[in-house]
Amino acid sequence: MEKTDALAALSALAQETRLDVFRLLVAAGPEGLAVGRIAVELGLAAATLSFHLSHLRQAGIVTCRRRGRMLIHAADFTRMGDLMDYLGENCCAGADCGLPRRGVRA
């Protein structure tokens, strides 16, 4: 992950509603949730939710797919893992500190 990608993801998550949406989508797992269900769960108006989902999609941490007439949004777990790897890349100066890592960068 590049620094600009990490900054975009962190910036998108640095807002209360977007963080709530993302955490709900993480809890929902790879199947994601329909927009209507997200709105009900978080008590958000459709326009407000659309605005925040757009930011999360642009940051690359949420995906969207169509199922019939419904839009299903899901957390992008690969990108989330990439962000976690980027943030922990130089953890403990390379010493094994118990931080779970998906991969080590060369």
Domain locations in the chain as residue ranges: 3-88
* pLDDT tens, residue by residue, 47-82: 999 999 999 999 999 999 999 999 999 999 999 999
Query: What percent of the chain lies above the pLDDT cut of 90?
Result: 79
Convert 17-82 into a string of H (helix), E (strand) and C (coil).
Answer: HHHHHHHHHHHHCCCCEEHHHHHHHHCCCHHHHHHHHHHHHHCCCEEEEEECCEEEEEECHHHHHH
pLDDT of residue 105: 45
* pLDDT tens, residue by residue, 28-56: 999 999 999 999 999 999 999 999 999 99
Classify domain 3-88 at the CATH class level: mainly alpha
